[in-house]
């Protein structure tokens, strides 16, 4: 690594930022990378280096985009590994052609080659993990590979990540709890635990007063192994008939979910909406009295939780990653002590009987307005990207 003198001589924020992201999903909607680019564009020039970006992605209209590959990650592990290496080589070439003084690796925390290359080119390297990537990959690979092989491969990815955290000039996490879960306190001299996230509080707003909503709870997100869909199915089956469970999303488990809940769907006790565009998510959130989020600790801070809170919909969520920093028990939401379908159903009933839920809804909205608005996000990144390189402010900011 460069010494402090080398770092002080680096160009400051005025030289611009490159955001390096992973291959994109084939859905033309705004995503986390777009939000991050919007924030940084308020401070300095920004370009987004990405792959497999849909032709009609709004990111192309709003920011400069450099597509280093037209391919996704691939479905087979051997193809995924090959593209992982090739994408890193392509990224090195793309970074070589850029003049920006900083490169922000957003979610691409295991991309060792371009991080090394950026260091050699004298650029400031910032690494921002979106969650526990090795765990996420292990859970996915265990569906296709022997468990021992999946664990070894995930361990290799974890090793690459920590090499990159060591090489980076700055490490940014969404919240202090996420930093602790990922074991990043060892990098406290360059660790920012107040990483900027923002929610469009005009788009995500309370359109249906909390007291006027039906007795409905729901899940919004991917229907896959990381979201513990099996437990959600059991919870939906265990709820009384006057509580509807609404599933909004799509994924590998959708067919299984609809099959196992066919009776409940027929009776109107369960509704499977399917995938909706981001513009339609606020309408779905405003149908719910409670959002159920039983995630594995793979996500840094689920956007669905923040968007739900902005719509006045408290979350009942597992206390993983950055969740406890925003879902505060009995104040802005509720934390899930046990991930078991029957227990979840009982707890949902108990929560819906509380007489202070409208107050919890208002508190959730208030937290988003105060800490997760656009201006607050810009101010945080001014601190992260600014020319002052003193000890990061690690105070609780969420």
Helix extents (H) in the chain: 4-8, 32-41, 58-62, 77-96, 112-120, 133-141, 147-167, 176-181, 229-238, 254-260, 262-266, 281-285, 303-310, 341-352, 357-371, 374-385
Q: Are residues 298 and 136 in contact, defined by beta-carbon separation less than 8 angstroms?
A: yes
Q: What pTM was estimated for this model as a whole?
A: 0.78
Classify residue 306 by burial, with Cβ atoms within 10 Å: 0-12, 13-18, 19+: buried
Q: What pLDDT, on the 0 to 100 scale, is given for residue 73?
A: 61
Across 78-87, 93-102, 139-148, 193-202, which has the greatest mean pLDDT?
93-102
**Range(s) within the chain of domains with CATH label 3.40.50.2000:** 4-198+373-385, 210-371
Sign of the dihedral through C-alpha 66, 68, 69, 72: negative
Across 29-33, 107-111, 358-362, which has the greatest mean pLDDT?
358-362
For residue 44, CA distances in Å to 17, 39, 101, 208 come to 7, 9, 11, 38
Residue 327 has pLDDT above 60, yes or no: yes
Helices 229-238 & 341-352 angle (0-180, nearest 10): 50
User: Which range is least confidently modeled, 10-14, 151-155, 167-171, 367-371?
Assistant: 10-14
pLDDT tens-digit profile of 216-257? 999 998 887 667 888 899 999 999 999 999 999 998 889 888
Residue 365 has pLDDT above 90, yes or no: yes
Q: Bridge-partner residues for 247, per DSSP?
A: 219, 272
pLDDT tens-digit profile of 159-200? 999 999 999 999 999 888 888 888 998 998 999 987 778 899
CATH architecture of the domain with residue range 210-371: 3-Layer(aba) Sandwich (3.40)
Q: What pLDDT, on the 0 to 100 scale, is given for residue 156?
A: 92
User: Which range is least confidently modeled, 21-30, 144-153, 279-288, 338-347?
Assistant: 21-30
Give the class (CATH, top level) of 4-198+373-385: alpha beta
d(CA 336, CA 347): 9
Average the pLDDT over 347-372 and give the result.
Answer: 95
Sheet holding 334-335, edge to edge: 270-274, 244-248, 216-220, 290-293, 315-317, 334-335
What the block records as the tokens of 219 is 């899940």
């Amino acid at each position: 690594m460069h010494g402090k003198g080398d770092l002080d001589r680096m160009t400051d924020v005025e030289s611009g930022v490159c955001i390096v992201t992973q291959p994109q999903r084939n859905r033309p909607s705004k995503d986390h990378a777009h939000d991050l680019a919007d924030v940084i564009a308020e401070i300095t020039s920004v370009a987004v280096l990405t792959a497999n970006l849909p032709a009609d992605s709004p990111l192309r209209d709003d920011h400069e985009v450099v597509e280093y590959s037209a391919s996704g990650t691939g479905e087979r592990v051997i193809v995924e590994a090959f593209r992982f290496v090739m994408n890193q080589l392509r990224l090195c070439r793309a970074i070589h052609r850029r003049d920006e003084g900083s490169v922000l690796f957003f979610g691409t925390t295991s991309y060792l080659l371009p991080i090394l290359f950026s260091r050699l080119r004298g650029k400031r390297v910032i690494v921002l993990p979106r969650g526990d990537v090795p765990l996420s990959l292990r859970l996915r690979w265990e569906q296709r590979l022997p468990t021992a092989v999946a664990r070894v491969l995930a361990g290799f990815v974890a090793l690459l990540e920590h090499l990159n955290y060591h090489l980076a000039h700055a490490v940014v996490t969404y919240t202090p709890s996420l930093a602790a879960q990922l074991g990043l306190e060892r990098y406290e001299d360059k660790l920012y635990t107040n990483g900027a996230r923002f929610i469009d509080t005009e788009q995500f707003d309370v359109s249906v007063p909390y007291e006027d909503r039906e007795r409905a709870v729901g899940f919004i997100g991917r229907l896959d192994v990381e979201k513990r869909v099996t437990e959600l199915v059991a919870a939906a089956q265990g709820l009384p008939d006057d509580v509807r469970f609404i599933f909004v999303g799509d994924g590998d488990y959708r067919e299984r979910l609809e099959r196992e809940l066919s009776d409940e769907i027929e009776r109107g006790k369960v509704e499977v909406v399917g995938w909706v565009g981001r513009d339609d998510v606020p309408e779905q959130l405003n149908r719910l009295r409670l959002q159920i989020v039983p995630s594995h600790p793979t996500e840094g801070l689920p956007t669905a939780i923040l968007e739900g809170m902005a719509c006045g919909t408290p979350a009942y969520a597992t206390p993983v990653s950055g969740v406890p920093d925003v879902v505060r028990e009995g104040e802005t939401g509720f934390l899930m002590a046990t991930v078991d379908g029957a227990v979840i159903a009982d707890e949902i009933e108990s929560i819906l009987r509380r007489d202070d839920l409208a107050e919890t809804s208002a508190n959730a909205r208030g937290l988003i307005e105060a800490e997760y608005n656009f201006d607050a996000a810009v101010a945080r990144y001014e601190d992260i990207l600014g020319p002052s390189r003193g000890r990061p402010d690690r105070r609780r900011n969420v």
